[in-house]
Amino acid sequence: MTTMDSVTAVIAELPGVTATSTYGRPGWSVGKNVFAWVRPFSKADLKRFGDETPPSGPILAVRTADLHEKEAILAAHPRSCFTIPHFDGFSAVLIDVDNAETDEVQELIVDGWLVYAPKDVADAYLAEN
């Protein structure tokens, strides 16, 4: 299992990342583009869960390259990744941090970072890792 501390440690290792605030919550950007952010549920989100119990731990939103990648991630990581109606048509997934493995979260964060990372920076990072 992973924690928000391990999430922030993974993000801190990525070049060119700046900590930011997204709607008063922690977020991280590369350049001017936010690729990951803490995404608690709104009252409307909770209402949409109906009788289903929503995840209770921290939720991390991470960008995906496109909607096809989003669907592939949701299919490959059903235990830890999900979406909500608010994210329909938006290329990002939600990660239930308490139900995710550290290596899984690391892969998703790096993939989200790659969406916006400058090509030369991304190529250098991938060559080293």
Domain count, the chain: 1
pLDDT tens sequence across 55-96: 888 999 999 999 999 999 999 999 999 999 999 999 999 999
Candidates 95, 85, 99, 123; CA nearest to 36 is 95
Position 90 in a domain: yes
Pairing of strands 33-38, 59-63: antiparallel
Q: Please list the alpha-helical segments (H only) found in the chain.
A: 4-12, 43-48, 67-76, 102-116, 119-128
The tens digit of pLDDT for each residue in 28-61 reads 999 999 999 999 998 999 988 888 889 888 999 9
What is the pLDDT, as a whole number, of residue 51? 85
**What's the confidence (pLDDT) of residue 62?**
98
CATH at 103? 3.90.1150.30
Q: Would you say residue 1 has pLDDT above 80?
A: no
Looking at the domain assignment, is residue 124 inside a domain?
no
CA angle 129, 111, 11 (to 5 degrees): 70
pLDDT at position 22: 87
Instruction: With 0.75 as the threshold, say if the pTM is over it.
Output: yes
Query: Which residue segment(s) compose the domain that 10 sits in?
Result: 4-119
